């Protein structure tokens, strides 16, 4: 059985950047584990609806509901402070992730790219820590997979999302040559949209402002890159034309095995 470990900073990261990939893996019978560094008690910057302790509990519950829509049954929190991961000694974060790698024994580790997807400092700090922990673990068969943003996705969805300050200034960084683009089928898309909706404290404003059609369109593709992996086709060909267009039943194998 293939084991996929998603390592995230906050509840909702998993659904937002890779909900389709995770649901696809579950549907295929893989073991999927999600790990969250924080409980998301910081909320979003300017619309925190309740005190941090309360929000942490709310978001933990929302996450359980959300993961149920994706079919993910294993989840663990590492209990770091939301918004302050960069202030925690890096060695401590790396050591905790390393311990989880030993315990979970993933074949694939899924997380943010170096830019942190949205540019959130917790995300980019986490990405660097995951890379270091994997280097220490030193399992050549284990794959690291980064969720990234394509230029097409950025142009279409970042401006409306940024009405709610989702992305930090200067972000997202566009990846011009994703290793894989996953097009969600209806079943995966339904699961992902409901998983997003379950993160009510974070996602309700988007559903309210833009409606289900926008959210479905935004959620319908996911882009991934395999950092420092070779043999996945020419990186010399820049642009989306060089990306692998994958149907759900192809995505996992392409990302895991590195073959097309
Ligand atoms: Zn986040």
pLDDT at 242 over 60: no
Q: Which residue has the higher pLDDT, 203 or 244?
A: 203
Each residue of 204-238: pLDDT tens digit? 999 999 999 999 999 999 999 988 643 333 332 23
Each residue of 97-145: pLDDT tens digit? 999 999 999 999 999 999 999 999 999 999 999 999 999 999 989 999 9
* pTM for this prediction: 0.88
Each residue of 140-192: pLDDT tens digit? 899 999 999 999 999 999 999 999 989 999 899 888 778 888 999 999 999 99
C-alpha to C-alpha distance for 220 and 239, rounded to whole angstroms: 19
Gap from CA of 38 to ligand 1 centroid (Å): 9
What pLDDT does 260 receive?
Answer: 31
CATH of 3-257 among 3.40.50.300, 3.40.50.720, 3.40.50.10320, 3.30.1280.10: 3.40.50.10320
Q: In this structure, what DSSP letter does residue 182 have?
A: E
* R_g over Cα of the chain: 17
Gap from CA of 200 to ligand 1 centroid (Å): 15
Please report, for residues 50, 86, 133, 239, the alpha-carbon distance to residue 92 in angstroms, rounded to integers and kept in the order given: 29, 11, 11, 38
Cα 168-88-73 angle, rounded to 5 deg: 75
E-assigned strand segments in the chain: 3-8, 31-38, 74-80, 108-112, 143-148, 180-183, 221-225, 245-246
Gap from CA of 260 to ligand 1 centroid (Å): 31
Gap from CA of 178 to ligand 1 centroid (Å): 21
Gap from CA of 192 to ligand 1 centroid (Å): 16
Gap from CA of 239 to ligand 1 centroid (Å): 27
pLDDT at 44 over 80: no
Taking a C-beta distance cutoff of 8 angstroms, is the pair 219, 157 a contact? no
What pLDDT does 49 receive?
Answer: 65
Each residue of 23-42: pLDDT tens digit? 999 999 999 999 999 999 98
Taking a C-beta distance cutoff of 8 angstroms, is the pair 112, 104 a contact? no
Gap from CA of 259 to ligand 1 centroid (Å): 30
C-alpha to C-alpha distance for 44 and 48, rounded to whole angstroms: 6
- For 187, the token pair is 């079943």
């Amino acid at each position: 059985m293939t084991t996929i470990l998603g390592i995230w900073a906050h509840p909702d990261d998993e659904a937002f950047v890779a909900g389709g990939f995770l649901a696809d893996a579950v549907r295929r019978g893989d073991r999927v584990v999600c790990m969250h560094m924080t409980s998301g008690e910081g909320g979003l910057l300017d619309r925190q609806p309740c005190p941090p302790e309360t929000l942490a509990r709310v978001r933990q519950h929302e996450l359980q509901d959300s993961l149920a829509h994706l079919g993910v049954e294993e989840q663990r929190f590492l209990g770091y402070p939301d918004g302050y991961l960069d202030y925690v000694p890096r060695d401590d974060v790396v050591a905790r992730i390393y311990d989880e790698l030993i315990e979970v024994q993933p074949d694939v580790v899924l997380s943010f790219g170096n830019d942190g997807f949205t540019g959130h400092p917790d995300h980019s700090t986490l990405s660097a820590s995951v890379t270091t922990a994997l280097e220490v673990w030193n399992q050549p068969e284990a794959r690291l997979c980064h969720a990234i943003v394509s230029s097409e996705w950025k142009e279409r969805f970042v401006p409306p999302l940024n009405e709610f300050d989702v992305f930090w200034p200067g972000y997202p960084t566009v990846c011009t040559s994703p290793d894989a683009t996953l097009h969600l089928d209806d079943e995966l898309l339904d699961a992902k949209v409901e998983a997003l909706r379950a993160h009510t404290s974070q996602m309700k404003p988007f559903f309210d402002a833009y409606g289900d059609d926008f959210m479905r369109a935004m959620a319908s593709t996911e882009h991934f890159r395999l950092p420092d992996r070779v043999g996945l086709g020419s990186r010399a060909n820049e642009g989306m034309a060089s990306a692998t267009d994958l149907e759900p039943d192809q995505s996992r194998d392409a990302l895991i095995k590195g073959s097309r």
